[in-house]
Amino acid sequence: MTTTSEKIIKTIKESHLEPAPKWRFLAKNWVFWTLFAIALVIGALSFATMLDVIVGHDWDIYPYLHKSFWTFLFISLPYLWIIFLSLFAWAAYFNFIHTKGWYHHRVYLVVLASAGLSVAAGCVLFYYGVGGKIEESVSANLPYLNAISSVDKKTVWDHPDDGLLGGQVVLIESSSQFMIQDLENKQWQVIDESAADKHVEVEIGEKVKIIGQEKAGNTFVAKEIREWDPHEAKRAFPKPKQTLRQSGSSVCATQEKSCD
Amino acid sequence: MAAAYIFLQALIVIMTNTFSKELSDISQKTDEELVALALNMPDAYAFLVDRYEEKLLRYIMRISSSSKEDAEDILQDVFLSAYKNLNDFDQTLKFSSWIYRIAHNKVISHFRKVSARPKTMTYEGDSQLLNVLASDEDLALAMEKKYTAQQVREILAEMDERYREVLVLKFLEEKDYKEISDILEKPMGTVATLINRAKKQFKERSNTRNQ
Q: Which of A1, A21, A101 sits opposite B90 (nearest CB)?
A: A101
| Strand A187-192 to A219-227 pairing | parallel
Evaluate the CA torsion angle A171, A173, A175, A178 in order and state its sign. negative
For position A47, what pLDDT does the model report? 93
For position B138, what pLDDT does the model report? 45
Number of other CB atoms surrounding residue B68 within 10 Å: 12
For position B160, what pLDDT does the model report? 85
CA separation (Å) from B145 to B19, B131, B142, B151? 54, 9, 5, 11
Q: Which of A228, A220, A183, A175 is nearest to A201 (CA)?
A: A175
- Tell me if A132 sits within 8 A of A52, measured CB to CB: yes
**In three state form, how does the secondary structure of A184-238 look?**
CCCEEEEEECCCHHHCCCCCCCCEEEEEEEEECCCEEEEEEEEECCHHHHHHHCC
A109 touches chain B (CB under 8 A): no
Q: Which of A12, A28, A32 to mutate to test the interface with B (most CBs of B within 10 A)?
A: A12
B134 against A26, higher pLDDT = A26
What is the rounded CA–CA span in Å between residue B13 and residue A259?
Answer: 117
Please indicate whether, in this complex, the C-beta atoms of A100 and B90 are within 8 angstroms of each other: yes
Give the ipTM: 0.71
- Tell me if B155 sits within 8 A of B148, measured CB to CB: no
CA separation (Å) from B144 to B124, B130, B134, B139, B147? 21, 12, 11, 9, 10
Model confidence at B182: pLDDT above 50: yes
Radius of gyration for chain B, computed over Cα atoms and rounded to the nearest angstrom = 22
Locate the chain A residue with the closest alpha carbon to B77: A8
Q: Which of A2, A9, A24 sits opposite B45 (nearest CB)?
A: A9
Min mean pLDDT across A89-98, A125-134, A210-219, B57-66 is at: B57-66
B20 touches chain A (CB under 8 A): no
Model confidence at B105: pLDDT above 90: yes
Q: Among the residues of B66-148, which ranges form H helices?
A: 68-84, 95-113, 128-134, 139-144
From chain B residues 82-141, the ones with a CB under 8 A of any chain A CB are 83-88, 90, 92
Mean pLDDT to the nearest integer, B86-101: 92
The count of CB pairs under 8 A between chains A and B is: 75
Min mean pLDDT across A87-101, A144-158, A188-202, A204-218 is at: A144-158
Residue A172: phi and psi, rounded to 5, are -105, 115
For position A251, what pLDDT does the model report? 42
- Tell me if B202 sits within 8 A of B159, measured CB to CB: yes
Q: How confident is the model at residue B15 (pLDDT cuts 50, 70, 90)?
A: low
For position A36, what pLDDT does the model report? 93
Return the amino acid letter for A22.
K
Locate the chain B residue with the closest alpha carbon to A16: B42
pLDDT tens-digit map of B115-136: 555 555 555 555 555 555 555 4
Q: Provide long-range contacts, Cβ within 8 A and 24+ apart, for A63-67.
A: A64/A159, A64/A162, A64/A163, A64/A164, A64/A211, A65/A156, A65/A159, A65/A162, A65/A164, A66/A162
Q: Which of A178, A189, A187, A231 is nearest to A213 (CA)?
A: A189
Locate the chain B residue with the closest alpha carbon to A15: B80
Locate the chain A residue with the closest alpha carbon to B181: A103
Please indicate whether, in this complex, the C-beta atoms of A101 and B76 are within 8 angstroms of each other: no
Model confidence at A252: pLDDT above 50: no
User: Helices A130-141 & A22-55, crossing angle to 10 degrees?
Assistant: 90
Q: Which of B80, B99, B105, B191 to mutate to test the interface with A (most CBs of A within 10 A)?
A: B80
Q: Which of A2, A20, A106 sits opposite B84 (nearest CB)?
A: A20
For position A123, what pLDDT does the model report? 95
Q: Which of B72, B80, B187 sits opposite A103 (nearest CB)?
A: B187
What is the rounded CA–CA span in Å between residue B57 and residue B117?
Answer: 18
Q: How confident is the model at residue A258 (pLDDT cuts 50, 70, 90)?
A: very low
Which chain B residues have a beta carbon less than 8 Å from that of A18? 84
Please state, rounded to an integer, the average pLDDT across all residues of chain B.
79
